[in-house]
A and B are shown apart, each in its own frame.
Chain A
């Protein structure tokens, strides 16, 4: 599903250049649930942003579902993001003046899906994350866990190839975190490919594979025995 070869990325900080990714080689198969672990500054978020086409690599190859991701125009990148990727952010990033349903339906709006169809589909995904009754509430009327579940529904609604989650439990307490991870595991069990960036070991243990990143290189890449989040819920 994802193929990465010798990926480099550096940021200019004034006169200094900060080399964040120093040659990453890594691939993800369909249906995997991968955690990318590392302390802050290890380059894990940068890697995720490049995978998400939110940022561009300086050099290296990136192939997503057989499509080379290179020299994209803004418009092309937008279309790819919409078609291939679903994002889940630490701070949820819901649009605050739109209801849960409208937030979930937004990616479909950019696919130019008719309104009725869009709303029906969004409602279906809201139901899947257990928030059907909350569909007409604004984000400000939802709890942190509920907001993150809305965000997950939004990431899922366009049926992307890969879900990318950046510290998705970072703003949640541990009970809510496990509820969210339970949802992520269920989605993965349905066959969806998911990448989770985290610095919390217990969250990483709930994935099927952990990639350890340190100072811009992969130091360890191992399959793990998945801990079922449902045990803690």
Chain B
């Protein structure tokens, strides 16, 4: 089967029948190319989702105060709810088993300047736990720590782009910046995968912020990181208990939907992941359909090829070709063509995927499309196998035809 003569026969037949070869090969190449592209784009889409939602920790609740909409326990409705430092302590004390870390966030905008350079930046007053909630990555120095919070230090941790904008080529570490009239020392520079906006933030101890604002104890938001081991169900239970606890403490009616808001990232994450996996399923169906279409295409061409060669097969049989040699020549030829062109389609697809990279990210939400090499190879092998099977059936039929029938003049 693998003698030099057999292959010479096959190469001759391929060389002398270029159109036929091209048609068969083209079908397979296109089939594999579309398959690789679809799977690659699906993966790219999922990459974008993972990037968008994977940047922040997902075991996190955000608590926002609102305004009451129902009178309760002698309080009128439309009362503004405020969080205070004591809320942090109470939550931590009452939900020890759930809470991994807790941090307030007091967000303010303002002019920040260093020497001649200045711009408008958002400053966040936070506790150390905030680093984990945002997955902030330190490049230089350190984050806000518990000592900073206790002593209300005037320390600031700035984003990579803040350093770049204000300090140009200078090293910001240890320098002093002016934040809305107060001077802070830069103790750290961070980066964040969440995009440019997340790298234009400045973090200071929340107690320092409160000190500047007439030494109050008000908090904008509370961010709670719960222990991952409690799982999705545990998080739901915790959310319910936390809601009841805070409503009770702030004298909000249990029926009031507006006094207090909890944003549960785990819940959101679950939804977006479902969405992205539905897209993946739809595209997988398309990719599978492409392979099926490819198989049908190659089958059609094989039937045509065998039909076209019926007379040649008759001649060969009259000259002493055994059915086995007839079948194996036709099959080897078709497997050879499908293998080469399938591989070509795979290579073209992979090259296209690689060259796309991040260029489709902004408009089409596709990041770094790729295809698993094993999957692409499997798809190619499946196509080759079915191409061979599709060729085998008519080839066997042709090999059984009596030469006299095949040779009959039209």
Residues of B contacting A158 in the complex (Cβ-Cβ under 8 angstroms): 320
| Chain A contacts with B in 172-191, Cβ cutoff 8 A | none
Given contacts A49-B404, A75-B323, A89-B407, contact A54 B316 (CB under 8 A): no
Given contacts A49-B404, A115-B5, contact A78 B322 (CB under 8 A): yes
Residues of A contacting B12 in the complex (Cβ-Cβ under 8 angstroms): 97-98, 102
Residues of A contacting B409 in the complex (Cβ-Cβ under 8 angstroms): 90-91
* Most chain A beta carbons < 10 A, residue from B314, B318, B403: B318
**Count of chain B residues with a beta carbon within 8 Å of a chain A beta carbon:** 29
Residues of A contacting B9 in the complex (Cβ-Cβ under 8 angstroms): 109
A110 to B325, CA, bound (A): 9
Which of the segments A25-33, A80-88, A128-136, A201-209 contacts the partner chain?
A: A80-88
A115 to B12, CA, bound (A): 14
> Do A78 and B13 touch across chains, with their CB atoms under 8 A apart?
no
Is A225 an interface position by the 8 A CB rule? no
Interface string of B289-321 (1 = CB under 8 A from A): 000000000000000000000011011111111
Contact of A107 among B13, B17, B320, B402 (CB under 8 A): B320
Residues of A contacting B314 in the complex (Cβ-Cβ under 8 angstroms): 93
> Do B318 and A87 touch across chains, with their CB atoms under 8 A apart?
yes
Task: Please name the residue on chain A nearest to B17 by beta carbon.
Answer: A97
Task: Please name the residue on chain B nearest to A98 by beta carbon.
Answer: B12
Task: Please name the residue on chain B nearest to A86 by beta carbon.
Answer: B319
A81 to B319, CA, bound (A): 7
A75 to B327, CA, bound (A): 12
Contact of A74 among B311, B319, B323, B404 (CB under 8 A): B323
Residues of B contacting A82 in the complex (Cβ-Cβ under 8 angstroms): 319-320
- Nearest CB in chain B: distance from A50 CB, A: 9
- Nearest CB in chain A: distance from B197 CB, A: 67
Residues of B contacting A49 in the complex (Cβ-Cβ under 8 angstroms): 404
Q: Interface size for chain A: under 10, 10 to 19, 20 to 34, or 35 or more residues?
A: 20 to 34
Task: Please name the residue on chain A nearest to B410 by beta carbon.
Answer: A91
A79 to B324, CA, bound (A): 12
A43 to B316, CA, bound (A): 25
Residues of A contacting B315 in the complex (Cβ-Cβ under 8 angstroms): 93-95
Given contacts A49-B404, A95-B315, contact A111 B17 (CB under 8 A): no
Is A65 an interface position by the 8 A CB rule? no
Is B16 an interface position by the 8 A CB rule? yes
| Chain B contacts with A in 3-57, Cβ cutoff 8 A | 4-5, 8-9, 12-13, 16-17
Residues of B contacting A83 in the complex (Cβ-Cβ under 8 angstroms): 320
Residues of A contacting B361 in the complex (Cβ-Cβ under 8 angstroms): none
A115 to B7, CA, bound (A): 12
- Nearest CB in chain A: distance from B15 CB, A: 8
Task: Please name the residue on chain A nearest to B399 by beta carbon.
Answer: A74
Number of interchain pairs (Cβ within 8 Å): 70
Interface string of A97-109 (1 = CB under 8 A from B): 1100010001101
Given contacts A54-B403, A89-B407, A109-B9, contact A78 B16 (CB under 8 A): no
Is B400 an interface position by the 8 A CB rule? yes
| Chain B contacts with A in 382-410, Cβ cutoff 8 A | 399-400, 402-404, 407, 409
Is A58 an interface position by the 8 A CB rule? no
> Do A111 and B318 touch across chains, with their CB atoms under 8 A apart?
no
Is A147 an interface position by the 8 A CB rule? no
| Chain B contacts with A in 137-175, Cβ cutoff 8 A | none
Residues of A contacting B17 in the complex (Cβ-Cβ under 8 angstroms): 97
A212 to B16, CA, bound (A): 44
> Do A97 and B5 touch across chains, with their CB atoms under 8 A apart?
no
> Do A79 and B407 touch across chains, with their CB atoms under 8 A apart?
no
| Chain A contacts with B in 145-178, Cβ cutoff 8 A | 154, 158
Residues of B contacting A141 in the complex (Cβ-Cβ under 8 angstroms): none
Residues of B contacting A107 in the complex (Cβ-Cβ under 8 angstroms): 319-320
Residues of A contacting B320 in the complex (Cβ-Cβ under 8 angstroms): 78-79, 81-83, 107, 110-111, 158
- Nearest CB in chain B: distance from A193 CB, A: 18
Given contacts A54-B402, A95-B312, contact A87 B319 (CB under 8 A): yes
> Do B402 and A106 touch across chains, with their CB atoms under 8 A apart?
no
> Do A79 and B13 touch across chains, with their CB atoms under 8 A apart?
no
Contact of A54 among B5, B16, B400, B404 (CB under 8 A): B404
Residues of B contacting A154 in the complex (Cβ-Cβ under 8 angstroms): 319
- Nearest CB in chain B: distance from A105 CB, A: 10
New contact pairs (20) apart from A83-B320, A110-B325, CB-CB < 8 Å: A54-B318, A54-B404, A54-B407, A55-B402, A55-B404, A74-B400, A75-B323, A75-B324, A81-B317, A81-B319, A82-B319, A89-B407, A95-B312, A95-B315, A95-B316, A102-B12, A106-B319, A107-B320, A110-B320, A154-B319
- 8 closest A-B pairs by CB: A82-B320, A97-B16, A110-B320, A54-B404, A78-B322, A75-B322, A107-B319, A74-B323
Chain A residues engaging chain B, CB cutoff 8 angstroms: 49, 52, 54-55, 74-75, 78-79, 81-83, 87, 89-91, 93-95, 97-98, 102, 106-107, 109-112, 115, 154, 158
27 A-B residue pairs with Cβ-Cβ distance under 8 Å, sorted by A, are: A49-B404, A55-B402, A55-B404, A74-B322, A74-B323, A74-B399, A75-B323, A78-B320, A81-B317, A87-B318, A89-B407, A91-B409, A93-B311, A93-B318, A95-B316, A97-B13, A97-B16, A97-B17, A106-B319, A107-B319, A110-B316, A110-B319, A110-B320, A110-B322, A110-B325, A112-B5, A115-B8
